[in-house]
Structure 1
Amino acid sequence: MKLKKNILVAPLNWGIGHATRCIPIIRKLQEHNFNVIIASSGRSLELLIQEFPNQDFIKIDDYNIKYFSFLPMAISILIQIPKILLSIKKEHAQLKSIINDFKIDGIISDNRYGMYSEKIPSVFITHQLEIQTPIFRSFIKKINHKLIGKFSECWVPDFETNGIAGKLSHTTNTTINYKYIGPLSRFTKKKSEIKYDILAIISGPEPQRSILEKNLIRELKLHKNKSLLLQGKPEKKYTDKINNLTIKSHLSSEELNLAMIESRLIICRAGYSTIMDLFKLQKNAVLIPTPGQTEQEYLSKYLSESRYFKSINQNEINLKNLIVNTQKFQNIKERNEDTNWNTLLNIFNK
């Protein structure tokens, strides 16, 4: 007799943000006596193996989205829609085997559109109910809502009112069964002495990840105060030092939690998972959106105009731009709107 229900958690491998925001969900599942099986690929899978070494893991295929240097990122993705839809279809077929082989009782999919089932409860996690694209917005919206509608529920990691994702996370569509679950962060706010003047967190897909890393190392190695740069490579174990700049390949969740608390200023991409962490820790930050990634460009503009964080473009990176006037962007206030996990996870007990 099976004592615990098996829940499959499957984050998309696009950067590591989808994986990091699944960490608090996995912890809550464990607290509520579910057995968690994790399915992902690439750096996301590597990160989750490090965080939960005693769990069962399944390697599944990537969507294999490519970026072309001669095209804006939005256009690159649009022309690959047929390939993405084919990947979703293959993913859905693979899921049927996983359900049978691992006796899965429920699914939580972070932006993997093929991870739904007609036979067991399936949950889709996204903060993008309304994807912001410069062209074909209504077409993309229609596809997005149709795919999300195949899931039992959609969990939106944002506040229902005054959300931190702006209009990305709010829709008037009544055909999707969505619930606002509040921002998701693996971190805990606590007091600590400042150790670093600047913490730079590198993340996101290539080649833009490496371009950002190179530009920030060029500037931060000239900074007179202590800085730390994290490369976002959980598969590596690497440390280097250039002047007052320390470079590390990766930190565990606990180590990164402390490093962010111990840093006066954080420089990072405008990825939503990182933004949720910044709000949780109430940290001052400079956002550098990935060029051509319309979600990040929208978020950085929205949050800068709301006086939460300073935002600069990647081609504007220099030491002066990074550190001047950041103190004007400190509008984060703590919000105690706890998620009712008992009610939320009850979908898997029905």
Structure 2
Amino acid sequence: MENSVKNILVAPLNWGLGHATRCIPIIRQLEKNGFTPILASDGVALQILQKEFPHLKALNLPSYEIEYAKNGADFKWKLITNSPKMIDAIFSEKKMVKRWVAEYNLYGIISDNRLGVYSKKVPSVFITHQLNVLSGKTTWISSKLHQHFIKKFDECWVPDLEKLPNLTGKLGHLKKSKLKLTYLGPLSRLEKKDLPIKYDLMVILSGPEPQRTYLEEKLKKEIKGFKGKVIFIKGLIEPEQKIDKDGNVMYYNFMTSGQLETAFNESEMVLCRSGYTTVMDLAKLGKKAFFIPTPGQFEQEYLAKRLKRNDFVPYAKQEDFKIEDLEDVKLYQGLPQLKKDIHWKQLLILFEGE
């Protein structure tokens, strides 16, 4: 008798919200194509997927315990001192996945940047936009290490376009590579809608602590000098949604995908981090934006600089940002809307087995 349930493990890294949220369109497509996703992560990444897909089984993976330095310049040192914990987590998740393949009769695995979530027994896919991992002077070694892990997977899906114009630049493109790469085109859980503009500015925060809190405190002060209506989403995943009004600003602790899609579409411009998932959302929605990269996060700093250089979006460093800087948004063209139809059926054939 044929087992009709085709379980696919979907496991995003818990680092900010981006890895989890860009898995949402993939989980939807798996369901559409007759697969049963099983969610696996830790912390807020798992919580956000459980809010989105309460009907799906959710499993806990060990935390990589990626801590953020209070000072951006110490970021790399923090990562190095934490790496033993991270290596432990990768070993434990490998053991867990080995068990789950049999226990849940997995047909396949999709890992978004979780280095130990793969199996030799079932097709395993790695999702990343960082084939090169920028880390300042140690970029070559962090990139080589990352590519070494990616090789263990059957395929690597890159959520960007292969040719120019693209969104990731040297992050997601290698001069030569033996990796089995598939460029999906940008992934977003949001759709562009023609809605009347309700807010002059949308502020959306994300990313790990303590930097998320620092930016929230700074922007709450700065926003007092903004003339116009503001919707401010703090990016705090909590059990209950909280809404507060303060003058011309509506504060939300978090929003579901549906609410977020509406808020984005109803906003004139967006002030946010330059995390890659946010960049993909903005490109899909055709929204003008202003970026404040997370201090010490090389990848966000690189994306912000590259997108400014190409006249798409202006940015400022966190400590330098002033509300008047938003005037610059008018001078930039906004992100290019990179259209690419993803042929999900073809992509997911990998998991069909014999």
Shorter-normalised TM range? over 0.9
Q: Match of 1:130?
A: 132
Question: Compared with structure 1, are the counterparts of its residues 334 and 66 closer, same or farther at alpha carbon in structure 2 (3 Å cutoff)?
Answer: closer
Residue-by-residue CA offset, 1:321-348 (whole Å, 9 max, x unaligned): 2x21211111434333211111111110
Report whether the alignment pairs 1:343 with 2:346.
yes
**Mapping 1:19-30, distance limit 5 Å:** 19-30=20-31
Report whether the alignment pairs 1:218 with 2:208.
no
Q: Is the 8 A contact 1:221 1:242 kept in 2?
A: no
Q: Match of 1:108?
A: 110
Q: Is the 8 A contact 2:69 2:75 kept in 1?
A: yes
Residue-by-residue CA offset, 1:98-143 (whole Å, 9 max, x unaligned): 2222211100000000001011000000000011121222211221
Q: Match of 1:15?
A: 16
Structure 2, unmatched stretches of 5+, are none
2-side partners of 1:75 and 1:117: how far apart? 31
Question: Compared with structure 1, are the counterparts of its residues 299 and 333 closer, same or farther at alpha carbon in structure 2 (3 Å cutoff)?
Answer: closer
Q: Give 1:221 shift.
A: 3.1
Report whether the alignment pairs 1:81 with 2:86.
no
Q: Which region of structure 1 is more displaced relative to structure 2, 214-223 or 276-285?
A: 214-223
Q: Is the 8 A contact 1:74 1:294 kept in 2?
A: no
Report whether the alignment pairs 1:301 with 2:302.
no
Q: Give 1:95 shift.
A: 1.0
**Mapping 1:174-323, distance limit 5 Å:** 174-236=177-239, 237-321=241-325, 323=326
Residue-by-residue CA offset, 1:26-74 (whole Å, 9 max, x unaligned): 0110111001110111111111111111111112111011233355212
Q: Which region of structure 1 is more displaced relative to structure 2, 334-343 or 261-270?
A: 334-343
Q: Match of 1:154?
A: 156
Q: Match of 1:171?
A: 174
Q: Which amino acid aligns with 1:195?
A: K
Q: Give 1:241 shift.
A: 1.4
Q: Give 1:204 shift.
A: 0.2
Give 3-state SS (helix, strand or coil) of 1:9's partner.
strand
Q: Match of 1:5?
A: 6
Q: Which amino acid aligns with 1:234?
A: I
Q: Which region of structure 1 is more displaced relative to structure 2, 59-68 or 35-44?
A: 59-68
Identical aligned residues as a percent: 42
Q: Match of 1:61?
A: 62
Residue-by-residue CA offset, 1:153-184 (whole Å, 9 max, x unaligned): 10000001112111100013432111101110
1-side partners of 2:118 and 2:346: how far apart? 21
**Residues paired across the two proteins, number:** 349
Q: Is the 8 A contact 1:41 1:60 kept in 2?
A: yes
1-side partners of 2:337 and 2:67: how far apart? 38
Q: Which region of structure 1 is more displaced relative to structure 2, 131-140 or 48-57?
A: 131-140
Please, which of 124, 140, 143 is the counterpart of residue 141 of structure 1?
A: 143
Q: Match of 2:36?
A: 35
Question: Compared with structure 1, are the counterparts of its residues 332 and 15 closer, same or farther at alpha carbon in structure 2 (3 Å cutoff)?
Answer: closer
Q: Is the 8 A contact 2:282 2:335 kept in 1?
A: no
Residue-by-residue CA offset, 1:203-238 (whole Å, 9 max, x unaligned): 000000000111111111332311011011222421
